[in-house]
Amino acid sequence: MRLLLASICVLTFCSCGGDFDQARRHFENQQFNDAISELNWVLFMKMADVEALQLRAMSHEALEEYDEALTDYKRILQLKPRDGKAHAGIGKIYWEQKEYKHAEMNLLLAAKEDPENVDLLILLSRAMMKNENYRSADEFLKSARDIDEKNASIYFYRGIVQANLGDPMSTASQFNMYIMYAKDNLKAYYNRGFAYMRMGMTDWAKEDFDFVLEKKPDHYEALARRAVCSMDSNPGQACLDLHQAAKNGSKYAQEKLELCQ
């Protein structure tokens, strides 16, 4: 009788057991809660299934359930201390939480295991930039460039790095490369102008905002930022532009209207 009951229990658990392939399909269809439910059963039957832990962590991460995701990633590292995907996942979560030193440490460990992953190298470089490790950031961006030389974002971030290293010519050169490879050229000019503006290079910034507004006169964010760049040289027109941008919904312009008081 006991043997019969045990057999029934085993059959019951097996019939309710999760299907990893089904969980993966749920994940690919962005049905993250369904993926987690399926993976809970998979991991109930096999707690040390690293592949299932990875997919469940990614599902929690997609839902911004960061504590649960970190628990799964850390469990993976207990089983496989050099798992690059787990270190990358932890690094991305810390990036989202603005814990940049922890992000850099984990992304660096991930990059050691997956040195050809361009997206990973770029995110690692961005974390280093947040931590003001500009020279190290530039080295990893150059490594990313050597792998994918037409990736526009590499040149964008290298431009910011060079600006922080005090090299305006290299800054301009990198942003020019960014413009060359960016798929959305208008957005690229706006981003370059925004970057120049942040660095205090207002003349160069105005040129880029002028280009954007010539192609798209109702780009009110570009209008607002060009107005701020022009405030010293032409305050009357700058204030008119700021008011127009603010009236059309630019929050940046609304915040800067005090310059016209």
Domain extents in the chain: 184-261
Q: Phi and psi of 46, rounded to 5°?
A: -145, 90
Question: Distances in Å between the alpha carbon of 130 and those of 33, 95, 169?
Answer: 33, 10, 22
Can you list the residues of the chain whose pLDDT is less than 70?
1-18
Cβ neighbours of residue 74 closer than 8 Å, sequence gap 6 or more: 86, 90
In this structure, which amino acid lies at residue 163?
A
CATH number of the 184-261 domain: 1.25.40.10
Please give the pLDDT value at position 8. Answer: 37
Cα distance between residue 20 and residue 167, in whole Å: 52
pLDDT for 17 equals 56
Q: Is the pTM of this model over 0.95?
A: no
- The 8-class DSSP code of residue 7 comes to H
Residue 67 burial by CB count (10 A; 0-12/13-18/19+): exposed, middle or buried?
A: exposed
